[in-house]
């Protein structure tokens, strides 16, 4: 199972991926892969989703679960047995429950051993930053129109053979 976010950026099964990208990039990636309908797809969001109204949900394999607290998110992720687990980050889930960040992050990592796990946010915040620390890969995608700030370059954003293109950054975690 693979999802191509943009040219050269592919998410694969057996990984926990943290993605920071404009909403239209994620919606386009999900809608452009008709074969996703063959797989069990779990979409987890909070009380309000920025993405659901744009996603084509014609498959009976597309399940939506809402988590209003970090404890509910933890339970949903631990019980997930889907091929793809997509979590739309809601920082308000962790208000007053910062102690749940590490268990939720660990649960996402555990599920990512057998499924494709995507933790998504349109912009970075403190809870997301803590959650993504256990991700296998972290992607930040900027829109061609510059609607998202360009990622800052660090020593980790370079690969053998030169720097990555300025519109994407990949951090590998070993």
Report residue 28 as tokens: 């386009």
Give DSSP secondary structure letters for 16-64.
Answer: EEEEE--HHHHHHHHHT-GGGGGS-EEEEE-S--SSGGGS----TTEEE
Instruction: Kindly report the length of the chain.
Output: 174
Residue 128 near residue 101, CB atoms below 8 Å: no
Q: How does pLDDT run across 144-174, given as a tens digit for each residue?
A: 665 544 444 333 433 344 444 444 445 555 4
User: Which positions ≥6 away from 47 have C-beta within 8 Å?
Assistant: 66, 68, 90, 92
What is the reported pLDDT for 156? Answer: 40
Residue 133 near residue 105, CB atoms below 8 Å: yes
What is the reported pLDDT for 34? Answer: 75
Q: Is the pLDDT of residue 129 over 90?
A: yes
What is the reported pLDDT for 147? Answer: 55
Q: Is the pLDDT of residue 51 over 50?
A: yes
Query: What's the average model confidence in pLDDT over 82-100?
Result: 94
What is the reported pLDDT for 57? Answer: 72
Query: What's the average model confidence in pLDDT over 6-35?
Result: 87
Which carries the bigger pLDDT value, residue 170 or residue 98? 98
Q: Among 77-81, 121-125, 146-150, where is mean pLDDT lowest? A: 146-150
CA 67 from chain center: how many Å? Answer: 16
Domains of the chain: 2-136 (3.40.50.300)
Q: By three-state DSSP, how is residue 149 classified?
A: coil
Res. 1 pLDDT band, cuts 50 70 90: low
Q: How does pLDDT run across 56-77, given as a tens digit for each residue?
A: 877 678 899 999 999 999 999 9
pTM across the whole model: 0.79
What is the reported pLDDT for 48? Answer: 86
Report residue 66 as tokens: 């809402």
Distance set, CA 154 to CA 63, 129, 157, 166 (Å): 38, 16, 5, 12
- The dihedral built from the CA positions of residue 156, 160, 165 and 169, taken in this order, carries a sign that is negative
């Amino acid at each position: 199972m693979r999802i191509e976010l943009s040219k050269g950026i592919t998410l694969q099964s057996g990984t926990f991926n943290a993605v920071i990208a404009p909403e239209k990039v994620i919606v386009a990636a999900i809608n452009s892969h008709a074969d996703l309908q063959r797989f069990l797809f779990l979409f987890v969001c909070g009380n309000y989703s920025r993405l659901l109204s744009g996603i084509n949900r014609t498959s009976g394999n597309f399940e939506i679960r809402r988590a209003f607290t970090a404890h509910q998110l933890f339970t949903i992720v631990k019980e997930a047995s889907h091929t793809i687990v997509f979590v739309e980050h809601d920082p308000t889930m962790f208000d007053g429950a910062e102690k749940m960040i590490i268990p939720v992050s660990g649960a996402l990592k555990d599920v990512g051993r057998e499924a494709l796990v995507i933790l998504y946010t349109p912009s970075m915040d403190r809870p997301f930053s803590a959650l993504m620390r256990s991700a296998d890969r972290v992607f930040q995608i900027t829109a061609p129109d510059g609607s998202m700030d360009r990622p800052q370059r660090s020593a980790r954003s370079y690969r053998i053979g030169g720097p990555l293109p300025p519109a994407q950054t990949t951090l590998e975690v070993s």
